[in-house]
Amino acid sequence: MTRIRPLPVATDPVATGPTGPTVPGGGRRRTAVRRRFDRQAAVGWLFVAPFATLLLVFLLLPMVYAFKLSLYRSTLVQGEVFAAFDNYRQAFADPEFRSGVLRVLVFGLVQTPVMIGLALVLALLVDGVSSRFARMLRLAAFVPYAVPVVIGTLMWGFLYSQNTGPFRFTGIDFVAGDTVLASLGNLVVWQWAGYNMIVLYAALQGVPREIYESARIDGAGAVQVALRIKAPMISAALVLCTVFTIVGTLQFFTEPLILQPLNPGAITNSYTPNVYAYNQAFSYQQYNYSAAISFLLGAVVFVGSYIFLFATRKRSSLR
């Protein structure tokens, strides 16, 4: 799972009209203002130029390049030849790729509700209870987010181990073929639940407390208030957390790659689409096929998250 970046909640962020001072009419005045705006235009471009260049070179160009590569195939005899959508056709028919896709989908389907549910419980606890212990929980749950995924995975790798872990008395092999996906799920929950908790908690803090009062007066208990009033009030934040969690699980990479040496038979080179793309490029030198998988994955995540965000945005503005 990649590190999710700070959340922009779907407010309306698009620049709305000019922010400069309004220009009143008048001959000479207008040309003076005009000249100033010309200068401002140049300065504006100068200020955004470094960012625009980076956007072009490290975002648009790689996307275009990946797409171009994905349309070619390298052959021994002819070198690079145009293959249209052959690589994509191959991917859709590739049982290894398909099983990887299926795995992250199943993983996301199970893990997302568990994670969001847990984050919601944590947020409700931290929001509803005011004690030093509640503040400690807020801190403890959020600390794993600050730890590199690599190191979080290494720690859990040791904890899962039959040789070094504290759970060896249970006799459970946490990295066997049928348990390793759940172990990876636990790892992701540990690392990200606190992040989601903070986002939900911030949303809860934004709900006016007077709303709970009437429910309390009507005789609703703390749990009822939490589930019937608080949770629905922050549905927008919940949906957003869900989207980001799904986006993360689709890109699942670091955790399985780090744990792979513990059981290479279970965590295969095609365990997730990203692991597969990585191995296609670096273990098998199949750059074109790898580019096709990367592009496909990127496109699915991109389109999917926009559909989700767009849907939520509409809903929240209707409310």
Query: Which parts of 228-257 interact with other proteins (CB under 8 A)?
Result: 237, 247, 250-251, 253-254, 257
Q: Taking CB under 8 A as the rule, does residue 307 contact other proteins?
A: no
Q: Taking CB under 8 A as the rule, does residue 173 contact other proteins?
A: no
Q: Tell me the site size for other proteins, rule CB under 8 A.
A: 117
Q: How far apart are CA 9 and CA 309, in angstroms?
A: 9
Q: How far apart are CA 272 and CA 100, in angstroms?
A: 4
Looking at residue 54, its amino acid is L
Q: Among residues 109, 123, 110, which one has the least CA distance to residue 233?
A: 123
E strands within 3-93? 72-75, 79-82
Residue of 74, 96, 99, 165 that binds other proteins (CB under 8 A):
165
CB of 45 to other proteins, least distance (A): 5
Cβ proximity of 142 and 199 under 8 Å: no
Give 213-222's long-range contacts (Cβ < 8 A, gap of 24+): 222/128
Shorter beta-carbon distance to other proteins: residue 181 or 199: 199
Residue of 26, 32, 43, 117 that binds other proteins (CB under 8 A):
43
Subset of residues 12 to 41 that bind other proteins, contact rule: CB under 8 A: 13-15, 18-21, 37, 39-41
Residue of 133, 176, 182, 228 that binds other proteins (CB under 8 A):
133
Residue of 158, 284, 315, 317 that binds other proteins (CB under 8 A):
158
- Find the helix or strand (DSSP H, E) in which 216 lies: helix 210-217
Q: How far apart are CA 32 and CA 210, in angstroms?
A: 54
- Find the helix or strand (DSSP H, E) in which 137 lies: helix 132-146
Residue of 84, 106, 222, 311 that binds other proteins (CB under 8 A):
222
Shorter beta-carbon distance to other proteins: residue 110 or 262: 262
Subset of residues 72 to 101 that bind other proteins, contact rule: CB under 8 A: none
Binding mask 263-302 for other proteins (x = CB under 8 A): -----------x--xx--xx----x--xx--xx-xx--xx
Looking at residue 239, its amino acid is V
Q: How far apart are CA 29 and CA 161, in angstroms?
A: 77
Cβ proximity of 244 and 309 under 8 Å: no
Stretch that binds other proteins, among 85-93, 94-102, 104-112, 127-135 (CB under 8 A): 127-135
Q: Taking CB under 8 A as the rule, does residue 224 contact other proteins?
A: no
CB of 178 to other proteins, least distance (A): 21
